[in-house]
Amino acid sequence: MSLQDRPAILNDKEFRYDSFKNGKVLFNKKKNHLPAMGWNSWNAFGSGNTEALTKDIADSIVRLGLDKLGYEYVILDDGCYKPERVDGFLANEEVKFPSGFRALADYIHGKGLKFGMYNDIGTNLCAGAAVGTCGHELDDAQTYINWGVDFIKVDNCYYLWDNATFSDAKNARYTYAPKIKSINVCGKDAGIDFCKKYSAVSDGEITGRGAEKTEDYVWNIGTFDGTGPDNTPYGEQGGELRFTVEAPSDGEYSLTVEYASAQEPGCGEWLQVACNDDVIYDDLLEATSDKDTFAESVKMSLKLKAGSNVIRLMNHRRQENTLSSYAALQEGFDKYAPDGDIILSICEWGKTQPQDWGYKVGDSWRILNDITFQVGADGDPGKGNWIADYTTSVTTQYSKAVIMDEYAGLDKGWNDPDMMMIGMNGLDETMCKTHMTMWSMMNSPLMLGLDLRRVEKGDWIYNIIANKEIIALNQDALGIQAKRVFTTVETESPSTDYIREMDRVDIIAKPLSDGSIAISFINVSDKDKCGDFAISAKDILDAIGSKMADRSVFENAQKYELIDLWSGEKTESNGSFCVKEIAACDNVTYRVIPVQ
Amino acid sequence: MMNYKLLFDKIHCSFGISLDEGKAMCIYDAQDCLDENAGIERRHAARIFHMVMSKACDISDIDDISQAGELLDLYDCRVCVNHIAQVYLRGIMKARLERIFDGRAFITAEEVECAIDGIVKIKSDVLSI
């Protein structure tokens, strides 16, 4: 079968789930990038971005001096390509981008800035153009190199191997295992044939997330879809059904599986079987007549050792397929520009739990669906929310990203809670200030999403996006995402528990390369808060001491100098850091410098 | 079947916007002009009608689209959520089934007539204020 007929065959175990934690990158992906900073066209102009607008934005970045503050990428999002390929290659939409992308890249590079573009791992872009990278990854990588692209954001619409946005819903066949009723293991003992049947319900053990036992079978074996809010990213996000099989002696055995399949979330057709960590089957099973009629699978051969063996029935293809597709593009970048260093922004909306694998090929990974669906247009700033349903608010994105610090780092990449909404309707100055603080403390990419032509030096939007002290937190060379060390909501583990309640104050802390730390007191709520919001130097040491540039300096300080990074006010502390009042949606952020 | 050519004609007839003007105003995307005889998915129709409202009729967006969240499939189309929400909340396009917008189904001639009538009415209400 060709690439277009089915997901990639995974001959290299580096693409497999079991290799996600080994720390190895693929195709020479370069690391040690700080979070990317720049401007992306989507929140500002949606599909209505044009060459003229993009040039105006590049001019504005320079006019405002934002380039000197680190904002370097100018990124064209969806809506810029010709709707179909030309002789198999990507091309510019001629009305909106008449000069072509190479000319636009040259213009942007001429300003001392860097040029970014957008595509999808599916067949089409989210806005519809049939120019997705699927099946064209190497050619497209070369095209982007030829165009002078420095950054590429890659979305997940129309993906062939998962039930992603605009994909065929039946693609769930690839990403969920069938319902499993039993397995049958056969072999020889002292020359005599034997078979033993193991019930999925009574003999099988479920691990990870999602898989469920019913009275007769186990189902929902796959990877939990992380696109929506209110779910923790921690723990094994893929469920497995495991059997402990006793073998009388070392040797060749056979395995069959009693299953029923469908093409829907929870019950698919693709099964992976591993025996003592060797994958022995990774393919579609023949479809059963319906999802309630069980059949026996093909016979699989496996080697067992005398004594206990673990047989795993699973389907990690949601993650493995998506990784393979992003990797194909990185393979192209490595092939055609091995010394190049194109930043790859993974945008599969957290669907496949990219915090597990994104570091292998990418520099950042979106953690949820979009932060706003009310994007702007020329003359319309669009709208963002502080608190709202689904993923569409500052606080929803923050609430997931803030517990994901352990997945981020210079040797990995960055959690991406989406482009910023500063300057959009619906968010006032206080909200935007805190939005900027949150994204900076969390080492999120700082992608502006507003029409910069309406910003002037010294106005409130400028003062937020150009706050050097706050930007310095994001771009600090130590590259450590802030950790939540306290929250007013009762919880067992503030640093890892997903908290749905927005009526709260969080305290997050971040070690910095000069031995100081940053602390933010964040009022997530839209109500003013009074109280003793306090944390001690010991609390901070317990939480982030191991990541500090010099723990002993902080630990042995006689006092601490505090600089409020929004007001500039300086105070001192003997080791207790406290805020008593925080206005609705506001934050107080200090750089805390240990003094000997 | 309602196709793009018929829709372009109807919009030209009702709002005086030619195809070229529509492209220049970003009412139409390049992909809308690939095959004039193709059917139009409802999500694309929602985009076009929303753009007609905002670019040609000065009908401003409804600020709070949260009520459109009653559509169970609203977020299936990330890039058209706002388009669908705006036409749905203004009554320009209705759900096909209970709480299902059905954005990938083709729009019918009746639905197009209804949508255009709706926009014309809102536009006249706006002008009369």
Where are the domains positioned within chain A? 35-160+325-474, 177-314, 483-595
CB burial class (10 A; 0-12, 13-18, 19+) of residue A28? middle
Could you read off the pLDDT of A17-73 as tens digits, one per residue? 999 999 999 999 999 999 999 999 999 999 889 999 999 999 999 999 999 999 999
- A389 Cβ under 8 Å from any chain B Cβ: yes
State the DSSP string of A8-72. PP--SGGGSGGGTTS---STT----PPPPEEEEHHHHHGGG--HHHHHHHHHHHHHTTGGGGT--
B31–A129: do the CB atoms touch at under 8 Å?
Answer: yes
Q: How confident is the model at residue A2 (pLDDT cuts 50, 70, 90)?
A: very low
Q: How far from chain centre, in Å, is Cα B127?
A: 20
Report d(CA A90, CA A141) in Å as an integer. 10
Length of chain B equals: 129
With a cut of 60, say whether residue A120 has pLDDT above it.
yes
**Class at the top of the CATH hierarchy for domain A177-314:** mainly beta
Report d(CA A86, CA A418) in Å as an integer. 31
Contact A401, A367 (CB under 8 A): yes
Report d(CA A414, CA A367) in Å as an integer. 10
Where are the domains positioned within chain B? 4-128
Report d(CA A376, CA A531) in Å as an integer. 38
Q: How far from chain centre, in Å, is Cα A342?
A: 18
- With beta carbons under 8 A apart, name residues in chain A contacting B71: none
Rg (CA), chain A: 26
Q: How many CB pairs under 8 A join A and B?
A: 65
- B81 Cβ under 8 Å from any chain A Cβ: yes
Mean pLDDT of A307-332: 97
pLDDT reported for residue A4? 65
Distances (CA, A) of A189 to A192, A193, A196, A246, A486: 5, 6, 12, 12, 59
Report d(CA A443, CA A131) in Å as an integer. 32
Q: How far from chain centre, in Å, is Cα A464?
A: 26
- With beta carbons under 8 A apart, name residues in chain B contacting A389: 66, 69
Closest-CA residue to B122 (of B95, B91, B85): B91
Find the CB nearest A128 among B23, B31, B82: B31
Tokens of residue A108, six digits: 């942007």
Number of other residues whose CB lies within 10 A of the CB of residue A252: 10
Find the CB nearest B82 among A79, A95, A373: A373
Closest-CA residue to A398 (of A406, A410, A386): A386
Tokens of residue A234, six digits: 């921690």
With a cut of 90, say whether residue A207 has pLDDT above it.
yes
Rounded to the nearest integer, the mean pLDDT of chain A is: 96
Tokens of residue A493, six digits: 């583990």
Between helix A317-336 and helix A137-147 the angle, nearest 10°, is: 50
State the DSSP string of A542-586. HHHGGGSS-HHHHHT-SEEEEEETTT--EEEESSEEEEEEE-TT-
Find the CB nearest A95 among B23, B75, B104: B23
Q: How far from chain centre, in Å, is Cα A318?
A: 14
* Residues 6+ positions from A568 with CB-CB distance below 8 Å: none
Name the CATH architecture for the domain at A483-595: Sandwich (2.60)
Report d(CA A337, CA A32) in Å as an integer. 18
Tokens of residue A212, six digits: 């469920």
Q: How far from chain centre, in Å, is Cα A579?
A: 32
Strands A414-416 and A364-366: parallel
> What number is the ipTM of this complex?
0.85
With a cut of 90, say whether residue A519 has pLDDT above it.
yes
Report d(CA A86, CA A532) in Å as an integer. 63
Rg (CA), chain B: 14
* Residues 6+ positions from A263 with CB-CB distance below 8 Å: A169, A170, A171, A172, A173, A269
- B44 Cβ under 8 Å from any chain A Cβ: yes
- With beta carbons under 8 A apart, name residues in chain A contacting B76: 165-166
pLDDT reported for residue A117? 98
Report d(CA A449, CA A220) in Å as an integer. 38
pLDDT reported for residue A596? 87
pLDDT reported for residue A1? 35
For residue A308, the SS3 value is strand
Find the CB nearest B66 among A95, A369, A389: A389
Length of chain A equals: 596
B29–A84: do the CB atoms touch at under 8 Å?
Answer: no
- With beta carbons under 8 A apart, name residues in chain A contacting B63: 383, 425-426
Any idea what DSSP says for residue B82? H
Shortest distance between the Cα of B60 and any Cα of chain A, in A, equals: 10
Could you read off the pLDDT of A453-489 as tens digits, one per residue? 999 999 999 999 999 999 999 999 999 999 999 999 9
Lowest mean pLDDT among A141-155, A184-198, A318-332: A184-198
Report d(CA A62, CA A376) in Å as an integer. 22
A128–B44: do the CB atoms touch at under 8 Å?
Answer: yes
pLDDT reported for residue B129? 61
Contact A79, A113 (CB under 8 A): no
Q: How many CA atoms lie within 13 A of A387 on its CB side?
A: 12
A128–B29: do the CB atoms touch at under 8 Å?
Answer: yes
Is the backbone of residue A465 left (phi > 0), alpha (psi -120 to 50) or beta? alpha
* Residues 6+ positions from B98 with CB-CB distance below 8 Å: none
A165–B66: do the CB atoms touch at under 8 Å?
Answer: no
pLDDT reported for residue B126? 74
Report d(CA A168, CA A9) in Å as an integer. 21
- B66 Cβ under 8 Å from any chain A Cβ: yes
Strands A300-304 and A251-260: antiparallel
* CATH 3.90.1170.50 fits domain A35-160+325-474: no
Q: What are phi and psi of A458, to 5 degrees?
A: 95, -15
- B77 Cβ under 8 Å from any chain A Cβ: yes
Report d(CA B97, CA A214) in Å as an integer. 32
Q: Which residue type, as a one-letter code, is found at position A375?
A: V
Q: What are phi and psi of A107, to 5 degrees?
A: -60, -45
pLDDT reported for residue A89? 98
With a cut of 60, say whether residue A318 has pLDDT above it.
yes
Residue stretches of chain B with pLDDT short of 50: none
Chain B window 8-27: which residues touch A at a Cβ cutoff of 8 Å?
A: 23-24, 26
